[in-house]
Structures are given as C-alpha cells and as structure tokens.
Structure 1
Amino acid sequence: MERLLRTSLLLFLFGTTVYGNHPFTVINRCSETIWVGTFGDDDIPAGGSFKLDPNQQQGFTAIQGWTSGRVWGKTGCDGNGRNCRTGEAPPGGRTTLQAVTLAEFGLDKWMGMDFYDISLVDGFNLPVSIRPSGTIDDPNCRIQACNFDFGVCPESFKEFGTNGQVIACKSACSATWDPQYCCPAPQVPEDQCRPSEYSEIFKRQCPDAYTWAYDYLNSDRNCRGNPVSGYEITFCG
C-alpha cells in the first residue's frame, strides 16, 4: 500500500499518466482476399498474420512503445497465408526487400508522441491509408494515403501475376540491390545518400510517402494520444 501511495503521488506531481495499449483496425476494401502481415522489434501483434476477405475488417492491439511497427498487405497467398505473390515474409518475420507498401509506426516515442508513415522504400503492391483516432487535434496528425499507377513503373521493376497483370512495382533498391539506391549503413552515410530518378517516380505518385532511405522531412506524421491513440489502416480504400 505504501508503494502504491508513493507511485500515485509521483504520478500526480509529474503529471504522468499510465495509458493502455493502442487499438488498431485493418480494413480490406480490395476486390481480392489479402493476408495482413504485422511485425515489430518488441511485439508482433495478431500472431504476425491474419486473413481478410473483401470488405472485412479485424482489430488488434499494439503495446505501449511499439518500436519499428509494420503492417502490410500480402496478395496471392495460399489458404494458410503462405507462398504469397507479394508481401511474403518468414512466419512472424518482416518483409525483406520486396515490392510491398508498408504502414510503419513508432508509438509513444519522443515526448510521448507516435510517429507513422507510409513507406515505398521497397516498392508498392497495394493502395493504403492510415487514419489516426483518439488523438489530440494537430495539423501533423492526419490521414496519410498512397495509391500508385503501375503504368509509370519501369518495365524491369514490374512484378506480374499468374494472368499477366502487374501486381507490384519494385523500388530501385529491391530491383537492383545497388548500394547507391539502398544506402545501407554504415557503408553509405546519410550525407552521401540522395534521392534518385527512380525514387522520384514514387514521390510524384505519393508525395507524403517515404521513397528512399532518408526521406523523412516530409514523410513522418506524428500524433499524441487523447488519452490513447489508435489507428485505422485501409487497403484499397
């Protein structure tokens, strides 16, 4: 009881509030079934993968301080969510240099704020949007969305489905693994890494998205919970 009283007094004096986990909702507005991949350095929500039929949605929670959080859509998978045409990853693992649209999160970070973005650093496979909820009103805490016209994808960067349609567009990094496009640290320091003619293709399509390794100035969004932030991720919405 004495410890509880001391903790309560400290919380009162320093204005700190203990919040709960963060609610997420994922919605599939695509015309096909997708499997949703999840990953984080300190937590892998929903077991790392779940199935969503068209117009279906599912929720999960992310822990406080979720680090390197990723959510993405996998297409053309078998009945167990494996052998996917796009977005394949090891069980409970993260994607690796594949053409996939990523929703990325770092929750409860600097000054308690959440940071989120849409990343095309590895490429694009599905339109996606991120809508924050339960947050303090702030101009930088807003919906972020990205769609992409496969017609502008360089021919050698395109990935095709079984019927010959384009299902993904690789980035220059995932297509070539060339250090000048991937900027692997520490081989290529930040001051020597620059956008390329290929990353500019993605930037013109989705101006707010990450399109190369250090493209954070106009790409990061941040929110503060009021009291607990949540996020809605919609594919093809």
Structure 2
Amino acid sequence: MMSSSSKMSYLGTLSLIIISTLLITTNAANFRIKNNCPYVVWAAASPGGGRQLNPNDGWSLDVAPGTKYARIWGRTNCNFGGGGCETGDCNGQLECKGYGKAPNTVVEYALNQFNNYDYYDISVIDGFNIPMEFGPTTDVGGECKLSSCTADIIGQCPDPLKFPGGCNNPCTVYKTNEYCCYQEPCNPTDYSRFFKERCPASLSYKADKTANYSCPGGTNYKVVFCP
C-alpha cells in the first residue's frame, strides 16, 4: 500500500499536471481559418497539421501559449496519392510537419513573447499563391489589427517569377544575395517593390521590417483565404 507521504506526493504531482493542463487549455490562442475562395484550399499549419477546406468551410485550431516560429498557409491543386500540391506543398502530405514549398502566401506568428505580446505578419517572402487576411477576431486597437494581401499578384506577376498557380519570390528563382536571399544588410529591389506596392501590409523580402504587428497575449485570431 502507498504510504501517507507517498499519497500526498502523488496527489501533489497530479494536481500540478491538472493545473498545467487547464492553464494551457485556457490560454491557448484560437485560430479560425476560413476558405472564402471559389475553389478547394488545403489549409496547412505548423504546428497544427492540415485540413481540406472546400469553399465556405472552416477549421478551428487551438495553439499552445509560447509557440513561436509558427506558420499558416494554403495549398492548391493537391493530390496526396501522388504529386502533392501545386503550391505550398509539404512533402506530399495532408498533415504538415514542417513548412510549405514556395510559392505560398504565409502567416507567421509567435505567441506570448516579449511583454506577453503575440507578434505576427503576412509574408510574401516565399512568393504568393492565395490572397489572405489575418488578424484578431475582435477590435483590440493599436498595432493589433488586420493584415492582408489580396492583390492580383498572380495575374500581374513578372515573367521570370511566374509559376503555375502562383508567383515566385526572386530568391526561389535566382538564389543570390542581390535579392536578400542569404544575409543582411540588404536593400529592396524592383521585384520586392512589385510585391510591396501591391501588398503594403505584408513582408516583401527578408530585411523588410515595415509590416509587423502585435496583439496582447491571449488574443484569438482569424485567417481568411480569399477575403
């Protein structure tokens, strides 16, 4: 039989586990992901996996506090029986374990970081494949606001960057630091300006610091494809 001291130690440990679990559940950020596109989008999240979203479908995703280096993006024209996705593919799998293959429009975020703030952006550093909107589900004010990239980038894409179903970032094509592919400091180029002029609220190249946003920790968010 368990001694009184062992029982107390066991119960104390169990209580800590329960409390920790409750805190994680309570403080997790909820991401409401919605597909407003007239076509199927295979939503992807790291962490989170993936989900097929037919037009008007949604996906509710809870993410643990303290998560960083996280991404949400969409994939198009997927065939998981072979070939993967035309854009945004992650090793041919529905459930993503890492990041997607360019070109893809990406939401990047980190939760409960400096001063218990969440930090986020929409990035076209990996190119563009689906119009996106991202931000808090309720109006919080300040820098906690919606970011979007909804321009016709695919239709206007410069010829060297064109890709089936998307528009590549120059680093995917040229792989040189002329386009800020490897190290900073570096400067904007005509290609990064092409993206920035059409999506000023998005990051357009690696040294771009002009489209970062923040919300108090505990904020819930929405992600909309084709807003």
Question: TM range, normalised to the smaller chain?
Answer: 0.7 to 0.9
Measure the CA separation in 1 of the matches of 2:121 and 2:178: 23
Q: Which moved more, 1:167-176 or 1:74-83?
A: 74-83
Distance 2:174 2:67 in 1: 31
Give 3-state SS (helix, strand or coil) of 1:49's partner. strand
Match of 1:127 in 2: 131
Counterpart residue number, 1:27: 34
Q: How many residues align?
A: 202
Q: How high is the TM-score relative to the length of structure 1?
A: 0.79
Which protein shows a greater Rg? 2
**Are positions 1:234 and 2:224 aligned together?**
yes
2:216 maps to what in 1? 224
Q: Does 1:113 align with 2:117?
A: yes
CA distance in 1, matches of 2:113, 2:107: 17
- 1:158-216 superposed Cα distances (whole Å, 9 cap, x missing partner): 112xxxxxx200011112222221432xxx3x22x111110000000001100000111
The amino acid that maps onto 1:232 is K
Q: Distance in 1 between matches of 2:78 and 2:180?
A: 27
1:79 and 1:37 mapped to 2: Cα distance?
Answer: 14
Question: What residue number does 2:100 align with?
Answer: 95
**Runs (5+) with no aligned partner, structure 1:** 5-16, 161-166
Match of 1:7 in 2: none
1:71 counterpart SS class: strand
Deviation at 1:133, TM superposition (A): 3.0
2: CA distance, partners of 1:72 / 1:81:
21
Structure 2 counterpart SS, 1:145: strand
Q: In structure 2, what is the Cα distance between the partners aligned to 1:224 and 1:82?
A: 41
Taking the aligned partners of 2:42 and 2:155, their CA distance within structure 1 comes to 25
Which amino acid is 1:194 matched to?
N
Match of residue 75 from structure 1: 76
Tell me, yes or no, if the aligned pair for 1:35 and 1:81 is still in contact at 8 Å: no
Q: Given residue 142 of structure 2, which amino acid in structure 1 is its aligned partner? A: P
Equivalent in the alignment of 1:10 = none
Is the 8 Å Cα contact of residues 34 and 223 (structure 2) preserved in structure 1? yes
How much is the aligned-residue C-alpha RMSD, in angstroms? Answer: 2.2
Conserved in 2, the CA contact under 8 Å of 1:124 and 1:148? no
Shift of 1:156: 1.9
Q: Percent identity?
A: 30
The amino acid across from 1:179 in the alignment is N
Runs of 4+ in 1 over 4 A off after TM superposition: 79-82
The residue type equivalent to 1:87 in the other structure is G
Choose the corresponding residue for 1:174, options 169, 172, 175. Answer: 172
